[in-house]
Amino acid sequence: MRPPYLVKGSVMGITCPAGYVSEDRVAYCITVLERWGFRIKKGKTIGNEHHYFSGTDHERLTDLQTMMDDPEIDAILMGRGGYGMSRIIDQIDFSGFIKKPKWICGFSDITVLHNHLQAQYGIPSLHSPMCGAFKPETENEHYLKSFYNALTGSPLVYDVPTSPYNRQGEAAAVLTGGNLAILAHLTGSASEVDTTGKILFIEDIGEHLYNADRLLLNLKRAGKLDKLAALIVGSFTEMQDTERPFGQTIEEIIWDKVKEYDYPVCFNFPTGHQDINYTLALGELHKLAVTNTGSILRLQ
C-alpha cells in the first residue's frame, strides 16, 4: 500500500488540519517545492483562523478530505501541527484514499494521522518537516533534502553519533511512532500505535519532566515498550522541570523505562521539534545497527 513516489510535475497539496498557520509561513515553502519540480495546490485552511485552529473542525476536515480525495494530488504536506487532528480523525472518509494512497507528510500533531493510517490501513507516511522549516537559510540543508529524497524514493541512510545511553544491537523491522504525548493520547483508540516487533521512534517538546515520565509509563503499562524490535529516541526539546526538581534528565527517564529489556536503543536521533529534523518513512521496513561508535538507520 505504499503511495507512488513523486516525480517532476507531481502535485503536492498543502493544508492545515490543526493549528493556525499564516500565509507568510507557507509562501517560501511553496517556492522551494516548485523549485524541486512539484506543482502545488493550496488548501483553504492556509491563512484561515478560528481561535487556536486554522478553521472550524468542519473547515479543516473538509479541506483535508478534499485533498485526500483529489485524484491529481500525489502528496499532502501539512502546514503545521499544534493540536486539532484528534478532533476530526474519526470523521475522515478513507475509502477513496486507500484506492489511491498518497504521501501524508508532517509531524507533531500529525502523529494522529500517521498512526491511524498504519493501524487501520497499513499505509506508509512521512514524518517530515512542515512549511515553517523552509527558509532561505535552510533550503539547502541536508535534513530538507532528506524530505525530497523520501518523496522521490531516493535512499534514506542516517548515521547518528553515539550516546552513553545507547544499547548496542541490530534490528530489521517496520518503523512506527512519532510524538510521545500523541502516542500516549492514542492509547485505547482506533488510531492506537502497534509496537509489537516494530522499531519505535519517539520525540517531544515542552513537556515537564514528570509528565514525560508519566507518558512513558502510560506506554509501558499498555505493553507498548516490552515487545519492541528497537527504540529510537529523537529530540526532546525545551523540557521543563518543576520548582522541586524531578531528579532525572529526560535521557535517564527514558532509559529507566526500557533498561530491563534487551533490544537496541538509539538516543539523539536528529528528528523532532528542532531545526535539524530529518524525514522518517513510517510504516516502512528499516534496518537499525547500534554499535559502540554510533548508529545507522537505513530504509530497506
The CATH number covering residue 259 comes to 3.50.30.60
Report pLDDT digits (tens) over 26-74.
999 999 999 999 999 999 999 999 999 999 999 999 999 999 999 999 9
Q: How confident is the model at residue 295 (pLDDT cuts 50, 70, 90)?
A: very high
Residue 100 lies in a domain: yes
Q: For position 261, what pLDDT does the model report?
A: 98
Boundary-marking domain end, from 152, 179, 197: 152
Q: What is the CATH number of the domain that holds 19?
A: 3.40.50.10740
Alpha helices for 70-134 (secondary structure H): 111-121
Residue 281 has pLDDT above 90, yes or no: yes
Grid coordinates belonging to 282: 513510517
Mean pLDDT throughout 262-284? 98
- 2 within domain boundaries: no
What's the pLDDT score for residue 152?
A: 98
pLDDT at 5 over 90: yes
The pLDDT value recorded for residue 73 is: 98
Short-list 163, 193, 175, CA closest to 278: 175
DSSP β-bridge partners for residue 178: 202
pLDDT at position 140, please?
93
Q: Is the pTM of this model over 0.95?
A: yes
> Do residues 177 and 193 make contact, with C-beta atoms less than 8 angstroms apart?
yes
pLDDT value for 76: 98
The pLDDT of residue 40 is 98
Q: Residue length, the chain? A: 300
In a domain, 276, yes or no: no
Q: Which of 129, 152, 175 is the last residue of a domain?
A: 152
Domains contained in the chain, number: 2
Residues 20 and 141 in one domain: yes
Half-sphere exposure of 214 (CA within 13 A, CB side): 9
**Secondary structure of the chain: what % helix, strand, coil (to 5)?**
30, 25, 45
Residue type, 206: G
State yes or no: pLDDT of 233 exceeds 90. Answer: yes
pLDDT at residue 1 is higher than 90: no
| Cβ neighbours of residue 67 closer than 8 Å, sequence gap 6 or more | 13, 15, 41, 43, 73, 76
Amino acid at 204: D
Q: What is the span of the domain harbouring residue 137?
A: 11-152
Q: Residue 267 is which amino acid? A: F
User: Side-chain half-sphere of 183: how many Cα atoms within 13 Å?
Assistant: 27
Averaged confidence pLDDT in the chain: 98
Per-residue pLDDT of 159-200, as tens digits, reads 999 999 999 999 999 999 999 999 999 999 999 999 999 999
Say which residues have a Cβ less than 8 Å from residue 40's Cβ, sequence separation at least 6.
11, 12, 13, 14, 30, 33, 34
Asked whether residue 161 falls in the same domain as residue 295, the answer is yes
One domain, residues 132 and 221: no
Q: Are 138 and 144 in contact (CB under 8 A)?
A: yes
Q: What's residue 61's pLDDT? A: 98
Domain end point (choices 99, 123, 152): 152
Residue 181 C-beta-side C-alpha neighbours within 13 Å: 20
Average pLDDT over every residue of 96-115? 98
One domain for residues 147 and 244: no
Q: Are residues 105 and 134 in the same domain?
A: yes
